[in-house]
Amino acid sequence: MSKFFSAKYAALTPYVPGEQPKDAQYIKLNTNESPFAPPASVVAAAKQEAGKLHLYSDPESALLTKKAAEVWGVKDTQILMTNGSDEALNFAFMAFCDQTHPIVFPDITYGFYPVFAELNGIPYEKIPLKEDFSVDYHDYVGISKNIVIANPNAPTGLALPLWQIEEIVKSNPDNVVIIDEAYVDFGGESCVPLIEKYDNLLITQTFSKSRSLAGARLGLAIGNETLIADLNTVKYSTNPYNVNRMTAAAGYAALCEAQWFESNCAAIQENRAYTAAALKKMGFTVLDSKTNFLFAKSDKIGGRALYEKLKAKGVLVRQFNAPRIADFVRITIGTKEQMDALIERTAEVLEEEK
């Protein structure tokens, strides 16, 4: 730390992204990216915009926003396009939380929430998941605090039904409830239809997973237009050109590929079921994932050891050294071939453990 670093950040522990190793070619199942490249039309759209990189992007991302409004069935004033959904989440923490408006989230969830809170000087409280790693929605009913819940949750992959989300939103009318739907397209129930009914509901989604655009950095926030206007105030005070030209064009093209999107999500769900069945056969406990990853625990080897042994065999998964989940590994769903490699190498590791 330099002597110039602001005291307000001195205690900040930054978010740690999953490894992006440069030392070897891994079967990379550790950062929940899509294994499938985006369709050719999306790549072509980005390439075409590359010729205009001397010009700023449209700060309103108007074309993209209009198209997104059509796809999500809302008004364009109810949407803000962002640089990944991480940016939408950070804007929401900045806009709606402060010393007197703390935020609450599960103890096991997306690791960026406490970082956004600490970055912005926001007090936060973690509510333990149930024994079975699900969110107990009763814990959030009528608590009169801002809330963020990933639904489906990460890294567990478990989802709450829509009616439980509605109970949470309805019972906290004077607070903002943020529902992070980064993984919703793989089997969760989206709460976007509730935004007309509740002015305190903000939803974030991403193009990083189900639309295969993690490298483009594109996300969005959906909610009542007054919430979106507040997010815009923060955006125009932070980074007006937050979505670059190539990404906006790629995002627009991606939204025109409805059929590709459906089959992309279906392929991931099929590979997920296939992998879950194989892992269970090997004695793993596998949580009921509604996402593009599995959270699984072996009865024969600890999480850290399994992570390390798989890495030595060229397969990268993610393991969290945190209470209650240290024996789990999080496995991103890849292609069928990648899943076969994971299953094979896992079987070898278990054999070597005997």
DSSP state of 101: B
CB of 91 to ligand PMP, least distance (A): 12
CA separation for the pair 253, 40 (Å, rounded)? 10
CB of 218 to ligand PMP, least distance (A): 7
With CA atoms as reference, report the closest residue to 71 among 211, 178, 209. Answer: 211
Helix H, strand E, coil C: the string for 305-330 is HHHHHHHHCCEECECCCCCCCCCEEE
CB of 348 to ligand PMP, least distance (A): 29
If one asks whether residue 156 binds ligand PMP (CB under 6 A), the answer comes out as no
Asked whether 243 and 83 are in contact (CB, 8 A), the reply is yes
Query: Hey, CA dihedral for 249, 255, 258, 264, is it positive or negative?
Result: positive
If one asks whether residue 179 binds ligand PMP (CB under 6 A), the answer comes out as no
Pick one of 27, 182, 315, 329: the residue that binds ligand PMP (CB under 6 A): 182
- Chain positions 98 to 117 lying near ligand PMP, rule: CB under 6 A, are 110
Within 10 angstroms of residue 54's Cβ, the number of other Cβ atoms is 5
CA separation for the pair 122, 114 (Å, rounded)? 9
If one asks whether residue 64 binds ligand PMP (CB under 6 A), the answer comes out as no
Interacting stretch for ligand PMP, rule CB under 6 A, among 78-86, 137-145, 301-309, 322-330?
78-86
Interacting stretch for ligand PMP, rule CB under 6 A, among 170-178, 190-198, 206-214, 318-326?
206-214
CB of 267 to ligand PMP, least distance (A): 20
If one asks whether residue 68 binds ligand PMP (CB under 6 A), the answer comes out as no
Binding footprint of ligand PMP on the chain (CB under 6 A)? 84-86, 110, 150, 154, 180, 182, 206, 208, 214, 219
